Chain A
Amino acid sequence: MSNKTSEHLWCCRSELSTDRSRNHGLPTATSDEQLKVEESIHVDYQYFLNRKGFDEKELRLEREDHAAYLRNGLKKLSRGFECLDSSRPWLVYWCLHALQLLGETQDDDTQLSIINFLARCQCPDGGFAGGPGQLAHLAPTYAAINALLSIGTQQAYDVINRQKLANFLATMVTSEGSFRMHEGGEVDIRGTYCAVAVARLTRIAMHPLFTRTPTWIVQCQTYEGGFSGGPGMEAHGGYTFCGMAALALLQSQHLADTNRLLRWVSSRQMRYSGGFQGRTNKLVDGCYSFWQGALFPLLHHIIADDLGAGDSSSVPAQEEDDHCWLFNCEALQNYLLVCCQSHDGGLVDKPGKSPDFYHTCYTLSGLSVAQHYCYNNVKKLCVVGDPSNELELTHPLHNIVMTAVLAANQHFSQLPSIQPSVCTFAQDATPSDTSTTTSDGHSTA
């Protein structure tokens, strides 16, 4: 499957114009918005196509611009970032991980500074906070641990107080197996993913802490096939990633209706732009390149394992064409490279938006997923544009570089597995905030 010539680019197909949304009936606010976005994407695509003597290799990821943007982010941030003062480990992770995808490592001094800062974000009772002196919270805990493991030195690993972390997780779990984000805080599927991911990476025991978790997660799969933030809510890309990644890490992926999920996530790729939307009838956004895109490697493993049982002729990865995820990897890369790069460095949601570290992290993560196919020892690269666009391989469940996951596994497997020293499910004086399927709407402690 060679895409050396520009005719193979998604935005260069002659049928592209037929993929513009046609109302086919009543225009509404949704369709108006969609048409506006398509128009701005069209402008970007046209600009690109109109360049004389255009060769696909001209489609370049501006690595140095993005790296400079990220390196600056790691250092100092303007006053405008006061609203992210409770998310600083996130800022570290977004910048660090994005730089790693670009193949950049930090020098020893920077690594040490990061390690020391994150150590100051760790709380006396375990877990990490959004900043020094704040309350422990599952989201910055996830970000901090991902960042530390991305550095992957002994010193970085040693920051993590595993026993306290396990205790923190045990105080966050509810009787239904879901997790609060912080003490007295909201319950939703992000918490579940954050908790499972960090426990897996740092070798905290899965049972009894997560025994009830898979049952809760599957309650979040909706009639559409994606997962919602909590039972009954709308299927959403970010929450779907959290749900399925958590299930996979708990080795319970078969509890989900994978065919329904596959249909839903596959339909989230926009036929015109090639990018992904987060929910049905909403707009494309570069960050979903990862949240939705990473579901495909996940599903591939589940489906291929099922199909491949015994009969080798039904294993999908037989023909050359099949060595790829079940979404249009080229179209996604096309969208990201043409529409999502900011000239000042950093990547964006969609044309017209400003870059930020969150979008830079997740667009690049999605790009990495789209470029790298690997299943059953078969590896295949699919790099759109300049070959130098190739990024490092990211782990689709944790979203840190694969080498960091392998190194962490190697390190923590030599340590004993940790059980919380606090009773699991003990703090159920108040019911969890998400309703269960019981008719009175309350959980029992």
Chain B
Amino acid sequence: RKRRRREAQRTQRGSLYFCVPPSCVASTPMTDFEVQEDKTMYPFSTNPEWSDITPLKQDDGPNPVVSILYSKRFSESMDYFRAILQKDERSPRALRLCSEIIDLNSANYTAWHFRRACLKELDSNLTEELKYVSEITLQTPKNYQLWFHRRKLVEWLNDPSLELEFTAKVLESDSKNYHVWSHRSWVNQHFNLWDGELAFTKSLLEQDLRNNSAFNHRYTVVKHTTGFTREVIQSESRFVFELITKAPNNESAWNYLRGLFDTNEFSQHDEFQRFTEDVISGTKSVHAYSFLVDILMRRKQNSDLLRAVEICKNLGSELDEIRVKYWKYVEKLIRQQIQDE
């Protein structure tokens, strides 16, 4: 039964708050940490610990819509949770009740918020709490609430020592999990912890050079550390050239290269152009052609601009047909640039 609920949670989780779509059900390992059958407080009605509380029924009104056919355990747990919320009772049993609610619906942000209120009130052991949230994370790693909860704990503890290792671990099962990268990025910035980040992205790119999240993180790391100096752009571009050589159709690498190019620190286009022309002579990479258009547009010579127009035509009609309208628009922009010169 629990497994089915976890499955439903994993498939449905992407629908939560619309921007994170469900990916295929991640094969996250089930841990032993769930509210164990013998540790649950349910049924509350016969639990002496809760005899003083009158449960508060959900007020959906007389003709409810989007009515969920809750299990008894879910209903009753929520009834007691509502009662505790109304009392604003921040006690040990309230904390445990939050665990129950989170176990039933890990997206219940009210329960997470109240949990934090209890933790503060009770001056709880936050290191233990971090263990708790880590366990749940391994089951439902795409949940906004638990990552934010983790962030608060790390902030309160003022201790990031577990974070880089933990995020790296979660990334092993899903190297592009947005929440994980977001958390790691936050840790880097909040604690000014950048050592090893560049190497970290490199190791991920060695595993999969098409990992766009790793490229993005690399960009952020450079921006916050050395910045895009001439030397950095040179070494970064060498790094990317190698990756492109291994996989010339890898858009992530080309986007990163363009990102370097666009910092404008690097005024010599020659090396970038030489490399790109080289790639094109070997493979008809759409991204190489696209980047060449950018380089040529930057040069502003009529001959370059005309060549760019030809490439756009070729892309729209043959190599990148799906984007024909986009390439026609770019062509228009270039022609306007020619007219203006």
Contact = CB atoms under 8 A, between A and B. Distances in A.
Interface stretch (B45-53, B244-252, B301-309): B244-252
Interface string A217-238: 0000011100011101111101
Query: Among the interface residues B67, B181, B285, which one has the most CB atoms of the partner chain A within 10 A?
Result: B67
B70 A327 contact: no
Interface string B159-185: 000000000000000011010011001
A234 B212 contact: yes
A75 B67 contact: yes
A-side interface size class: 35 or more
A400 to B, nearest CB: 14
B125 interface: no
Contacts of B255: 223-224, 280
B177 to A, nearest CB: 11
A85 B109 contact: no
Interface stretch (A46-54, A57-65, A283-291, A417-425): A283-291
B58 A29 contact: no
Contact of A117 (B61, B189, B325): B61
Contact of A113 (B17, B58, B65): B65
A152 interface: no
Query: Among the interface residues A109, A184, A262, A303, which one has the most CB atoms of the partner chain B within 10 A?
Result: A184
Nearest to B336: A314
Nearest to B85: A133
| Interface SS majority for chain B | helix
Given A85-B108, A90-B18, A328-B322, A133 B59 contact: yes
A137 B186 contact: no
Given A73-B66, A132-B60, A183 B113 contact: yes
Query: Among the interface residues A84, A95, A356, which one has the most CB atoms of the partner chain B within 10 A?
Result: A84
Query: Among the interface residues A87, A112, A228, which one has the most CB atoms of the partner chain B within 10 A?
Result: A87
Nearest to A280: B212
B44 to A, nearest CB: 17
Interface of B: 4-5, 8-9, 11-24, 56, 58-71, 74, 78, 82, 85, 104-110, 113, 116, 144, 147-148, 151, 175-176, 178, 181-182, 185-186, 189-190, 192, 207-213, 216-217, 219-220, 223-224, 245-252, 255-256, 258-259, 262, 283, 285, 320-326, 329, 332-333, 336
List of 8 A-B pairs having minimum Cβ-Cβ separation, nearest first: A238-B19, A223-B259, A30-B210, A25-B247, A358-B15, A113-B63, A435-B189, A234-B216
9 contacts: A25-B246, A25-B248, A26-B246, A78-B69, A79-B68, A83-B13, A83-B106, A133-B82, A324-B325
Given A25-B246, A181-B109, 4 more contacts: A24-B249, A135-B110, A327-B323, A358-B21
Interface of A: 10, 13, 15, 19, 21-26, 28-31, 73-88, 90-92, 95, 109-110, 112-114, 116-117, 120, 129-135, 137, 139, 181-186, 190, 222-224, 228-230, 232-236, 238-239, 242, 259, 262-263, 266-267, 269-271, 274, 278-283, 285, 287-288, 291, 303, 307, 314, 316, 324-328, 331, 349, 353-354, 356-359, 362, 433-435, 440-442
